[in-house]
Amino acid sequence: MTHPDLAAPARYAVAGNPVEHSRSPAIHALFAQATGQSVDYGRLLCPLDGFATTIRAFAADGAQGCNVTVPFKFEAFELAARRTRRAELAQAANTLRFDPTAQGGWLADNTDGAGLVRDITVNAGVTLTGQRVLLLGAGGASAGVLGPLIESRPAEIVVANRTVDKAKDLVARHQAWADEHGVALRASTLADVGTGYDVLINGTAASLSGGGVPVQGPVLKAGALALDMMYGPAARPFLRWAQAQGANGRDGLGMLVEQAAESFALWRGVRPDTASVLASLRAEVDALPDGTH
């Protein structure tokens, strides 16, 4: 019988294009160390037209799963035979587990929303239940978090997007889930979001294109939480805006670490402690000069 300590490490990777800047390998190495798990987590650069082929070869080579990042989260969802409810709602997956069944009998999950909710409620200590939430954007980033946000039972979630039809589609897909959880869910243009929100979550790519925060005027209550899903220098203009609004600004670093912990738990059956990992990443990211990542 093989002693488990002598067995080859379980292999995982982050699959995307690009992947060279991903912090996932460092995060998972720290999780593995902290939990005593034998894990080898690398990077898998997939050609834009070769995601499925690359992933199938990785699985056939004995790997046990992967995280999936831009631009393959939708394709990853399509590839899997089984999907969690939260992946179904997102129509996108950031985590695949290569269960040892027939080829392609994989499980697709999306841990982004659970990561976001945990960062807000546990790390930031902010209650979502009963609150008014404004979610900016209706692309993949927002789609990945809306289901778990609804599960945290805020009183209301408004999804506002530059292209309002995309917000309407996202809302329509989540309407039954919102009704089930007693959440008032609606779509809005960016111009008509109204005011008095307790929590704002920025899932747009506006800061990447130099557009800044895509809402005008005072939309937040004093002391509200304003969270950008980006982190590092890309999130700094948003954080300055939040401060000017009298809000508590927060970037997406905690969400990054928490979604990773959720993936690790799905694969390994043990949820790593995130506080020390977040603290060391925080020091690293805060030291980055503007214009880098």
The stretch among 17-25, 101-109, 155-163, 258-266 that binds ligand ATR (CB under 6 A) is: 155-163
Verify binding: residue 138, ligand ATR, rule CB under 6 A.
Answer: yes
Taking contact as CB under 6 A, which single stretch among the options 29-37, 111-119, 162-170, 267-275 is the one that binds ligand ATR?
162-170
| Range in contact with ligand ATR (rule: CB under 6 A) among 44-52, 103-111, 192-200, 207-215 | 207-215
When asked if residue 168 is in the footprint of ligand ATR (CB under 6 A), the reply is no
- List 153, 162, 168, 186, residue binding ligand ATR (CB under 6 A): 162
- 73 given a catalytic annotation: yes
Choice from 65, 113, 115, 140 touching ligand ATR (CB under 6 A): 140
DSSP string, the chain: ---GGGSPPEEEEEEESS-TT--HHHHHHHHHHHHT--EEEEEEE--TT-HHHHHHHHHHTT--EEEE-TT-HHHHHHH-SEE-HHHHHHT--SEEE--SSSTT--EEE--HHHHHHHIIIIIS----TT-EEEEE--SHHHHHHHHHHHHT--SEEEEE-SSHHHHHHHHHHHHHHHHHTT-EEEEE-STT--S-EEEEEE---TTTTT---S--S--EEEEEEEEES--GGGGHHHHHHHHHTT-EEE-SHHHHHHHHHHHHHHHHS-PPP-HHHHHHHHHHHHTSPTT--
Which CB, 191 or 270, lies closer to ligand ATR?
Answer: 191
Touching ligand ATR, residues 96-125 (CB under 6 A)? none
User: Closer CB to ligand ATR, residue 39 or residue 160?
Assistant: 160
Q: Which residues are catalytic?
A: 73
- Residues in the site for ligand ATR, rule: CB under 6 A? 137-141, 161-163, 166, 203-206, 209, 211, 214
